[in-house]
Structure 1
Amino acid sequence: MAKERMLKFVALGREMPAKRPAEERSHDFHEIYAEFAKAKAEEQASRCSQCGVPYCQSHCPLQNNIPDWLRLTASGRLQEAYEISQATNTFPEICGRICPQDRLCEGNCVIEQSGHGTVTIGSVEKYITDTAWENGWVKPAAPARERKESVGIIGAGPGGLAAADMLRRAGVQVTVYDRYDRAGGLLTYGIPGFKLEKDVVTRRNDQLVAGGVTFKLNCDVGVDISFADIRAAHDAVIIATGVYKSRDLGGPGSGSAGIERAIDYLTASNRKSFGDAVAEFDSGQMDAKGKRVVVIGGGDTAMDCVRTAIRQGATSVKCLYRRDRANMPGSQREVQNAEEEGVVFEWLSAPKGFTDKGGRVSGVMVQKMRLGKPDASGRQAPEVIEGADYVEEADLVIKALGFEPEELPTLWGEPGLTVTRWGTVRAEFTSGRTDLPGVYAVGDIVRGASLVVWAIRDGRDCAAAILKDFAAPKAVAAE
């Protein structure tokens, strides 16, 4: 019977959940995709070919057992599908919404390679887990026995929270320290609501509290509490701070008012969505309403910024990127969504400075580029086209140039914390062990700016390593 429900990719075409019309969705911060109905989710799951070598699974950082939960969904066995999904992914409802499936599981689907259109894996994953929440299948940690060991986690982003969940389910006492007033890291303050509505994050945070995880928020390590004190209070410590130091952009006029960092701009917008009083937004500094907005960058953060500016009522929104569309690092799906909403992309365009009027930015000095020979990374290097410069008028410029790690050894007064030449914490692959006994590190602070799904993988792997080390304390001490 199960076989009859599968392999329908020849007869059934690929269908995504319907998108709300651009003219409607561009005025609010609600998610843009409608929900799959039960019949449609089962139908789309049935397109899976159940191939012998599932590239979707091998290209998923979490190695999610995608073919099995697609088969169960097609059979109407949704609770079992959820249990299979949850077995390898701490936050499947979040990954279903924000993972770049076009670059990971869906982009490597066998039937996509054969020209039939990929299975809509992310949308089915979202449907499974949303159904699980509605039916009360998602349960907080309830360990069979409590353990005496204690772990302190610095950073309440996806890597830290994934580790917290795994450790707490094993009965470990877990305390999470975070500088912000809400847990979630970039899930809460970096990613806009139209990609990830905030109640989706909040209910996971609430579940962790219900399961016994302790949160110490508004707690800036190195200021409100020392790293040494955290180490002294716990049997193990996980560093999961992420990377929040924005890459900067120099050139003439770079100090003008009206040039903002992407993280500040997105945080202000997300705080407003929570109903917070945000002085920078209320003053107009971080509000794009009525302004000509230029966003510099080509990654997912840039896409978040341009689409946020549209929703705030900007008169025009342009995105400058120094390479072409095919070579941009951001999701092509997000580019399409942005274009539908009115964003204009200026490809092969790089800033070299800014114009201003009375100390406030009035434009971006743009150099036109062409792609030359491949650089050290193998990508074609942008080259300046002489004599093709122009000025792009702007009232608000947002720099979305990526993130770098903060100087943790200095900030925390811990010179023994070894970092790489890029400033990321040096940690052992898969376990997260650092050079400091009992100290581990996961996520972007190890990898550099990366995907949420990789942070979740790191957090889960690190939790498993810590449990193993707790079972062999002499081996840890010997290190």
Structure 2
Amino acid sequence: MGKITGFMEYHREEAKEQDPKSRVRNWKEYAAPFSDEVLSRQGARCMDCGTPFCHMGVEINGASSGCPIYNLIPEWNDLVYRGKWKEALERLMKTNNFPEFTGRACPAPCEGSCTLAISDPAVAIKNIERAIIDKGFENGWITPRIPENRTGKKIAIVGSGPAGLASADQLNQAGHTVTVYERSDRAGGLLTYGIPNMKLEKDVVARRIRLLEKEGIDFVTNTDVGKDITAAELNAQFDAVILCTGAQKHRDLTIPGREAKGVHFAMDYLTKSTKSLLDSNFKDGDYINANGKDVIVIGGGDTGADCIATALRHNCNSVIQFGKHPQLPLARTSNNMWPEYPHVFSLEYAHKEAKATFGEDPRQYSIQTKKFVADDNGQLKELHTIEMEKVRDENGMFVYKEVPGTEKVWPAQLVLIAIGFEGTEHPVLDAFQIETANNKIKADYGRFATNAEGVFAAGDARRGQSLIVWAINEGREVAREVDAYLMGASALPSYLHA
């Protein structure tokens, strides 16, 4: 694959980005595409490693390693190196319904398990993937695929995130009539409202939705299943139902002062910001504005980083991100060996922007928030913290312990809680009388059937908060199971039934 000696001749090149200090003045995607010449060199670095761990798609120690949708990465790397772009697109689309999403917003566990990454920077898989699909759209190679025959079977999908869209795409191609219900005013789920524009421009999402509509899928927005349409009505109108409602039940921070005005969940902040941007370019004022405020983000993950980037574009006065854990090491440690996902220090796009704007990395490590304090009008004015240290208890287990004397008071008028999600929201599940376990829909992976006859589940609603690629994996797999349920057998491709 690639050039035999390419990995020795060429170094990894990163996508050119807008200057961090200037890009915070717009909401455009911050990364620019590679030229074809650069992409050919990057494809050439794929080293014909024999066993391509990049697409093994497993979880090791709770983190994804390799590509969960088993993209044929070495094959399309080689085709890009040889300039065979259309052929590369054909190989990419065999396993991935939406490369334009994963090529922009996936954390690329494939690169962490790239064989070259044992000793050198990994092949630029994610950037090559994005380039292939973008070139496919630019050259008109991606056109509506209209099924020649219809089966007469009707399927309702609740939720239009990546799992819902993937299952809809597969089932539509199998000839079934598919209707997707979305409670928001735009389809796309977290692709539309959970990921900021500078990581995934919404024209990219809308383009895919339009294509799916042309292929025959019906999208019904502004419809809350269980309220606007009942479970009984869906069961009566459709032959099968798939629940892809996500895991959007926020994990809260229940400490003194939580009720103060100015304390919000991160996803509410991001959603309102994106909606106002799309509706009116912020002219409606219907969003949580960080302008002129001291902003603190509690939570060290990607959602927290997205909050930083959004607050900077709102022209905040300052922004800090709290993390519970110590700073990650600069290189892999002995307990984080290849091909595990590399837990190493990095400057994400938002951290680069904050550093360029305010002169320093916004992250604070090993810190715990103790309480929020409001003024006489109930408006948040500060929060109190204490530093933590990771120690072993009497049983040899790691625990976090407060460090006396490290208390600190931080000025803050806006706090965003980004500490993850507890599981799926229950109103839809209650409507269908779905059994749950640990706040997730109870449905075995590989079967995806719930306790309710003809009702299936996939994506974060079933597995818990996860990656776009896992959502696509589950969307494709549940489609096969539903197809088999309706028709007695299925010819849809499967990761599990090779």
Q: 2:305·2:351 contact (CA, 8 Å) conserved in 1?
A: no
Query: Tell me, what secondary structure is at the counterpart of 1:381?
Result: strand
Q: CA deviation at 1:375?
A: 12
**Of residues 41, 62, 69 in structure 1, which corresponds to 2:69?**
62
Deviation at 1:260, TM superposition (A): 0.9
- Paired residues of 1:246 and 1:402 also in contact (CA < 8 A): yes
- Give the corresponding residue for 1:344: 362
Kindly provide the CA deviation profile for residues 96-129 of structure 1, in whole angstroms up to 9, marking residues without a partner as x.
111101xx1101111110x221100000000000
Once the two structures are superposed, what CA deviation does each residue of 1:334-365 show, in whole Å capped at 9, x if it has no partner? 74322321251111111111111121111111
Establish whether residue 90 from structure 1 lines up as the match of residue 97 from structure 2: yes
Offset, 1:332:
6.4
Are residue 400 (structure 1) and residue 418 (structure 2) matched?
Answer: yes
2:50 and 2:143 map into 1 onto residues whose CA distance is 33
Per mean C-alpha deviation after superposition, the further-off stretch among 5-14 and 436-445 is 5-14
Which stretch shows the higher mean deviation, 35-44 or 367-376? 367-376
Alignment partner, residue 495 of structure 2? none
Partner deviation per Cα, 1:274-305 (whole Å, 9 max, x = no partner): 134879x726x611111110000011111111
Residue 112 of structure 1, aligned match among 110, 117, 129: 117
Does 2:96 correspond to 1:131?
no
With over 3 angstroms needed to count, the CA separation of the structure-2 counterparts of 1:83 and 1:331, relative to structure 1, is farther
Q: What are the within-5 Å matches in structure 2 for residues 172-191 of structure 1?
A: 172-191=176-195
2:436 is the alignment partner of 1:419: yes
CA distance in 1 between partners of 2:328 and 2:454 (Å): 44
Alignment of 1:125-274 (within 5 A): 125-274=129-278
Is residue 23 from structure 1 mapped to residue 33 from structure 2 by the alignment? Answer: no
Residue-by-residue CA offset, 1:2-43 (whole Å, 9 max, x unaligned) = 76x344011111101112111111221111111111111111
Cα distance in 2, alignment partners of residues 84 and 379 from structure 1: 46
> Who is 2:337 aligned against?
none
Amino acid at match of 1:55: F
* Alignment of 1:48 onto 2:46: yes
Aligned to 1:81: 88
Alignment check: 8 A CA contact 1:221 1:412 kept: no
What amino acid maps onto 2:161 in structure 1? G
C-alpha distance in 2 between matches for 1:202 and 1:95: 15
SS state at 1:9 partner: helix
Unmatched 5+ residue regions in structure 1? 474-479
Q: Separation in 2 of the partners of 1:187 and 1:471?
A: 31
CA contact (8 A) 2:154 2:176 kept: yes
Cα-to-partner distance string for 1:252-272 (whole Å, 9 max, x where unaligned)? 211000111111100111112
Letter in 1 for 2:47: S
1:141 touches 1:165 (CA, 8 Å); kept in 2? Answer: no
Q: Secondary structure at the match of 2:253?
A: coil
TM-score (norm 2): 0.88
Residue type of the alignment partner of 1:387:
G
Q: CA deviation at 1:407?
A: 4.6
Q: Which one-letter code corresponds to 2:40 in the other structure?
A: E
Q: What is the rounded CA distance, in whole Å, between the counterparts of 1:148 and 1:167 in structure 2?
A: 12
Provide the C-alpha distance between the structure 1 equivalents of 2:474 and 2:185, rounded to a whole number of angstroms: 24
State the one-letter code of the partner of 1:345: R
What TM-score do the two structures reach when normalised by structure 1? 0.92
2:35 & 2:23 partners in 1: Cα distance? 20
Deviations 1:167-216 (A, max 9, x none): 11111100001101100000000100111011110000000110000111
Q: Match of 1:282? A: 285
2:387 aligned to which of 364, 368, 392 = 368
Q: Which moved more, 1:185-194 or 1:328-337?
A: 328-337
- The structure-2 alpha-carbon separation of the partners of 1:333 and 1:19, relative to structure 1 and needing over 3 Å to count, comes to farther
Q: Secondary structure at the match of 1:288?
A: coil
Q: Tell me which amino acid in the other structure corresponds to 1:8.
A: G
For residue 167 of structure 1, give the secondary structure of its aligned residue in structure 2: helix
Q: Which residue of 2 aligns with 1:447?
A: 463
The one-letter amino acid paired with 2:48 is Q
Letter matched to residue 9 of structure 2:
A
Check conservation: 2:226, 2:428, Cα contact below 8 A.
no
Distance 2:135 2:103 in 1: 13
